[in-house]
Amino acid sequence: MFHDLLKLSRHTAIYGFGTVLPRMVAFILLPVFTHQFSPQEFGVYQLYYAAIALIMAFLPLGLDIALLRFYVLEKDAGDRKKLFSSVFWAVLLYSIVLSGLLWFGSRFFLHLIVSSVTEYPPWMFYTLKLRIGVMFLDNLSNFPMWVMRGEGQAVRFSIIKVAGAITQVVFTIVFLEMGRGVAAPFEGNLAASVLMAVLCVPTIISKLRPYVNWSTLSSCLAFGLPNVPNLVFVMLVEISDRKILELLRTPAEVGIYSAGYRLGMFLSIVALAFRYAWQPFFLQIADRPNAKQIYARVLTYYLAVAGWLFLLLTAFVPPLVKVNLPFIGVLIEQRYWAGLGVFPIISLAHICNGLWAVFMVGVYLQKRTGMLPLITGIAAAINIFGNLALVPIWGMWAAAWLTFVAYAVMAGLLYFYIQRHYPIAYEWRRVVHLTVIGAGIFALGEIGRRHGLNWPGYFLSLAFPLVLLWTGLATETEKARLGLIKGKNG
């Protein structure tokens, strides 16, 4: 078991590097944006990205997850090429049609994105079309990237992701220095997407053939299409709060909230890196006698690592971004500090998002995707109607807490549903143990912070793994593996 979990950890680390750095663009550029743009301008920028993220849920037609599932399980090289070709040609045609409609209907689309603005300056149309171009390129690059995951090419996958991230940061900063203003991040993003698409061309050429197998495509659509409304509902959970904040409060509050939200998304990066390694991993070991035992252990380890990161981030990040550094000043401009309060809440929400990924094992293995839209639809309804009712009263605080509630409901409903079809005996005693310890440490650190003392939070968050060991969380086998005792090696 430990060999398998070590392999999962190694691939998570490699995918993590390839996932963390691109997502770290949001953190690297956040100080730049908060100093360069007003909260209202940054709010409009976030609304753009939220809208395109929602469209991206439609673009793959669910064929991305279908490609991964069938590609991993298919061992014949010729059939793998048939599978990739059938999927890629269908997605290419659909992407051209949808992107074209958005491009030529940009005025109508822009009104949907930013409803509180009565007159749209030319830069809004320009940046929107840039974002549509990025969307088209990213969707096509997505499929060869999924093939790399299916073949275990974690290093190559990460190199492409990292190259894109570096390109985006460098070009964005260069364009800002050239005086491109609000357009700079969009132009930097386009440069990164072009590079990633070019780097994916060798994989596309090696796998693509000039035909479509309709039977294969039909099987993929049957598996993947139910995931489209599911993804749409997940994206509504992710982004609807910003649109409702714009409608019921102001674009400036969207910008302030988004600064704190971006910081909280660090744990979504961790969850995403884990998911990239986790999906091929659980498919590959599904036929092993101890597969369910491994799946159960993964939940415990995921929560232990995510919990420790949560404690470290909530202890160290808020004070750090307010420090007045030489030649730089504060990392996050003072107008955005009010948004830092939502950071821990959003972090918890994304831990729950990681739980959703853990519980997806049975969905893939038993082909139970049909119920996913109902589960995510319930979460989206809670988020949307809750925001409509509570945002006018509590503003971004309501948005943050409802994001957490929606993700928690999603994970909980998925667990109870899939346990009926693919039961796994998770280590709930240990899960409760580490959750109680983590909550206690966070509470003590928060008490200290409210009294102007940051050091208790620093010390306790760093000590979390030791407290878990001291309170008896680790098994004898785990202690032996850690070198704490002489014992089992299995």
Encode pLDDT of 415-466 as tens digits. Answer: 999 999 999 999 999 999 999 999 999 999 999 988 888 888 999 999 999 9
More confident site: 228 or 438: 438
pTM of the model: 0.77
Percentage above 90 pLDDT, the chain: 36
More confident site: 262 or 351: 351
Residue 452 backbone class (left: φ over 0; alpha: ψ -120 to 50; beta: rest): left
CB 251 within 8 A of CB 40: yes
For the segment 192-209, the average pLDDT, to the nearest whole number, is 93
For the segment 203-212, the average pLDDT, to the nearest whole number, is 90
Alpha-carbon gap, residue 270 to 375, rounded angstroms: 23
Alpha-carbon gap, residue 264 to 3, rounded angstroms: 32
CA 19: distance to chain centroid?
Answer: 9
- Return the bridge partners of 329, or none: 325
Q: For residue 195, what pLDDT band results from cuts at 50, 70 and 90?
A: very high
pLDDT of residue 9: 54
Look at the alpha carbons of 247, 249, 252, 255 in this order and tell me if their dihedral is positive or negative. negative
Mutual angle of helices 183-207 and 122-150, in 10-degree steps: 30
Q: Which amino acid is at 462?
A: L
pLDDT of residue 105: 86
Answer yes or no: is pLDDT of 272 > 80: no
Alpha-carbon gap, residue 488 to 490, rounded angstroms: 6
Minimum mean pLDDT range among 121-125, 247-251, 382-386: 121-125
Residue 129, judged by CB atoms within 10 A of its CB (0-12, 13-18, 19+), counts as: middle
Residue 45, judged by CB atoms within 10 A of its CB (0-12, 13-18, 19+), counts as: buried
pLDDT digits (tens, 9 = 90+) for 135-169: 899 988 988 988 887 787 878 888 898 899 889 88
CB 358 within 8 A of CB 302: yes
Answer yes or no: is pLDDT of 13 > 70: no
Write down the mean pLDDT value for the chain. 85
